[in-house]
Amino acid sequence: MDDSQYDKRGVLLAVAAFAWWGLVPIYFKSVAGVSPLEVLAHRVLWSAPLAGLLLALQGGGFAGLWRGLARAGVLRTLALSSLLIAGNWLLFIHAVDSGQLLQSSLGYFVAPLVNVLLGMAFLGERPGRWQWVALGLAGLGTLNLILRQDGPPWIALTLAGSFSLYGLLRKRVAIESVAGLFIETLLLAPLSLAWLGYEAWRGGLVFGHGGGGPSLLLMAAGVITTLPLIWFTAGARRIPLYVLGVCQYIAPSLQFLLAVWVYGEPFTTVQLTTFALVWTGLAVFVLAGLPVWGPARSRRRAG
């Protein structure tokens, strides 16, 4: 397989992951009567065996897992990435449950531009002039919300930062995607079990007590969680960070449409101004990163 085919596969995996994440609020709305922490615990506990099964079905899956864990720093990095993704999951569940999906979509619109900053800080990448323009426009959009509303859009900024850091860690850690997810969920499983035990003790547990429908929906959290993360981490290792950033636009676009047109969240002129600035910045970012522009600039310099 040549490099171009390899990259195309990575793009397809990333597109599938972000399209899934764009529509996943529908699932979380269906379990809105369950506390976000219980939903998070089920995401972890049902994802762990599913990831383990997928690993077992892979030829040499567990052998690759042990080889990965034997490398210096892999387990430490996965411990950090597990905390980042757990925090990201919990905040996203809360945003959907509390009717703030629009702010969540803003966070994931900003995330690709956060990737630029992370690439510069940790990977030695140097943004071009138009990428700085894109970052500046996104910054102005965020400042508009800070000045004209009650404060910074904390949900949006935290989602953007945590997910971008998670992507950076998983891109750099030397372990395959399914194996990494399996270890992450195993590391989070004790905390999840402890929380569910506490909820059962205090009589607040929905699973097994709220009827068959909610329990089955909570069990489905494993598939809902595992498939897109596997696609994402597999795609992230195959494509550059800026391409991954472009693919991220799919999820917030679908979330934005769901928030405004399906769930009827208010969309004020202040939010319109912010989104317009961020969208303009993203358009500049995408156009500046298109491959056709690189050769054209090279030809002009050569001439």
> How do residues 151-189 score in pLDDT, each as one tens digit?
788 999 999 999 889 988 988 888 887 888 899 999 999
Report, as an integer, the average pLDDT of 243-267: 85
Q: Which residue, 248, 271, 273, 249, is CA-closest to 260?
A: 271
φ, ψ (nearest 5 deg) of residue 266: -65, 135
pLDDT tens profile 70-96: 888 899 999 999 999 999 999 999 999
Q: What is the pLDDT of residue 296?
A: 44
- Residue 185 vs residue 234, higher pLDDT: 185
* 3-class SS string, the chain: CCHHHHHHHHHHHHHHHHHHHHHCHHHHHHCCCCCHHHHHHHHHHHHHHHHHHHHHHCCCHHHHHHHHHHCCCHHHHHHHHHHHHHHHHHHHHHHHHCCCHHHHHHHHHHHHHHHHHHHHHHCCCCCCHHHHHHHHHHHHHHHHHHHHCCCCCHHHHHHHHHHHHHHHHHHHCCCCHHHHHHHHHHHHHHHHHHHHHHHHHHCCCCCCCCCHHHHHHHHCHHHHHHHHHHHHHHHHCCCCHHHHHHHCCHHHHHHHHHHHHHCCCCCCHHHHHHHHHHHHHHHHHHHHHCCCHHHHHHHHHHC
pLDDT exceeds 80 at position 300:
no
Per-residue pLDDT, averaged over 230-254, amounts to 78
| pLDDT tens, residue by residue, 20-58 | 989 999 999 999 889 999 999 999 999 999 989 888 887
**Comparing 241 with 51, which gets the higher pLDDT?**
51
Q: Average pLDDT over the chain, rounded to whole?
A: 84
| Domain residue limits, the chain | 3-302
Instruction: Give pTM, 2 decimals.
Output: 0.83
The per-residue pLDDT for 251 is: 86
> Could you tell me how many residues make up the chain?
303
Query: What is the longest distance spanned by two Cα atoms in the chain?
Result: 75
Instruction: Name the more confident of 34 and 124.
Output: 34
The confidence score (pLDDT) of residue 298 equals 41
